[in-house]
Amino acid sequence: MEYENQFPHSKYECLLFDVDDTLYPLSSGLSAQCTRNIREYMVNELDMDESKVPEMCAQLYRDYGTTMAGLRAFGYDFDHDHYHSFVHGRLPYEHLKPDPVLKSLLHSLPIRKVIFSNANEAHVAEVVQRLGLEDCFDDVICFESLNPENQITIPNGPKSSVIEYDDDCKRGVVLPESPIVCKPFENAFQQAFKMARINPHKTLFFDDSIRNIQTAKLTGLNTVLVGSSERRTGVDFALESIHNMREALPDLWESVSKSLDAGLSQKIAVETPVEA
């Protein structure tokens, strides 16, 4: 679909959406189960100490954007597809129901819509399909698009290079780099802009994570924090639910209808012959 320059009165030419806890609410329970699956993966597949896993999982998530990115930084080699099928493939997707309200909101905005998620393609597709939003998006940026050359295929790779997540690391004194590209880091945003041909200054970005929103703001994106009505630094708009889009962002619809009206009057002017 080509929307560019179609709505000259609109401040935005693209809407960029996170998926998890943004397109559906946190109360679905998927995120909580995802955390349990990640912890189980760390204990069962990476032989990590069960008593340390919850804290380490949270710390890696905080430091690296995703626990997976943190595990890779600390030298754990594992097959990404296997990780994703263990962590996401077993989620209770049946908790997600078709969302005709959101579908209708998205359809009523003839502006380009792109998904930008740290999750893998299969997970994004499953969520979008369960919500009944398959025909709502024009492009998808996900784990595979952000990490095309990073497909490690060593299911039980050597763990000799694993770095101890010691107190120095916890204090942030020596944090090894991760090979994984993901939000909330700016390189992930820049890569997404390039791949999906996005002008951040003309794009509205929806995400439930305040740190993603804050990086987004630094890149020039206009931001909408979803899942909270609290306005914080970097947040242009805050919505309790994605369903509140129309009430919180009336300008979006008004600018589109202005452009449509302008287009219609122009068309009528052209098509009505002047009789003189």
Can you give the binding site for Mg ion, defined by CB under 5 A? 18, 20-21, 208
CB-nearer residue toward Mg ion: 99 or 208: 208
- Tokens of residue 190, six digits: 């820049």
> What is the 3 state secondary structure string of 55-72?
HHHHHHHHHHCCHHHHHH
| Other CB atoms within 10 A of residue 173 CB | 9
Sequence-ordered alpha helix ranges (H) in the chain = 30-44, 53-64, 67-73, 80-87, 100-107, 121-130, 143-146, 167-170, 186-195, 210-219, 245-248, 250-271
Q: Closest distance between Mg ion and the C-beta of residue 209, in Å?
A: 5
Q: Closest distance between Mg ion and the C-beta of residue 126, in Å?
A: 15
CB-nearer residue toward Mg ion: 13 or 21: 21
Which of 182, 243, 174, 177 is closest to 212 using CA atoms?
A: 182
Q: Closest distance between Mg ion and the C-beta of residue 65, in Å?
A: 11
CB-nearer residue toward Mg ion: 14 or 19: 19
The Cα–Cα gap between 167 and 9 comes to 54
CB-nearer residue toward Mg ion: 13 or 208: 208
Q: How far is CA 176 from CA 56, 72, 144, 166, 191, in A?
A: 15, 9, 22, 12, 21
CB-nearer residue toward Mg ion: 103 or 211: 211
Place of tokens 């998890």: 20
Q: Closest distance between Mg ion and the C-beta of residue 160, in Å?
A: 34
Judge contact between 154 and 162, C-beta under 8 A.
no
The Cα–Cα gap between 164 and 202 comes to 44
CB-nearer residue toward Mg ion: 14 or 124: 124
CB-nearer residue toward Mg ion: 244 or 259: 244
CB-nearer residue toward Mg ion: 169 or 188: 188
> What is the 3 state secondary structure string of 123-157?
HHHHHHHHCCCCCCCCEEECHHHHCCCCCCCCCCC
